[in-house]
A = this chain, B = another copy of it.
Amino acid sequence: MLEQKIEALLFLAGRPLSVKKLCDLTDAKKADVEKAAEALVTQYESRTSGVLIQKASDSYHMVTHPDVRSLAQAYAKEEVSGELTKPSLEALTIIAYRGPVTKAELEQIRGVNCSLILRNLLIRGLVEAKYDKPRATTVYDVTHDFVRFLGLAKVDELPDYIKLHDHATLEKLLNPDAQAQQENLPAV
């Protein structure tokens, strides 16, 4: 059971975790953690796995097997430089015109979950996340690098920026109550 826990933690971390950290997280004794971790190392070595658990000084790290190194590199390259999909381009465009925008707003506009798309845009340095204190939430904006890439000094130089930034359609979608109230006013 402790083995299972350590395995899950090493997978989730994706980076080295010290024995001390593993003890804290699993609430187990050092000797037990070390024994379980060593058992994991042996277990991963014994089966022909694409993943290994490496020990370095007093920490453990789940890594890809050296046999598949070139593949791992190809994957990493693909993650950061493959072509952007149409949904990703749409999200990037919305963030450019409408930013700073929350994930929830972006998802309302696109009508689909955007977790993976945002992750990809962040990895590529096209979008940055900031914590918006007044709204107590994370907001997303395009990066300076991306604005410069478009050949602009500021994002509001995008074509029709003023018109599109707070287009009535968006307001209706994101603030339906405010709209409904406005529309009801004359009728009352």
Contact = CB atoms under 8 A, between A and B. Distances in A.
A105 to B, nearest CB: 11
Copies of this chain, complex-wide, total: 2
A152 B15 CA distance: 27
Contacts of A123: 107-108, 111-113
A165 interface: no
Contact of A3 (B14, B50, B72, B129): B50
Interface string A139-176: 00001010000000000000000000000000000000
Is the contact region of chain A dominated by helix, strand, or loop, or is it mixed? helix
Contacts of A116: 15
Interface string A1-12: 101111111011
A48 B39 CA distance: 13
Contacts of A128: 112
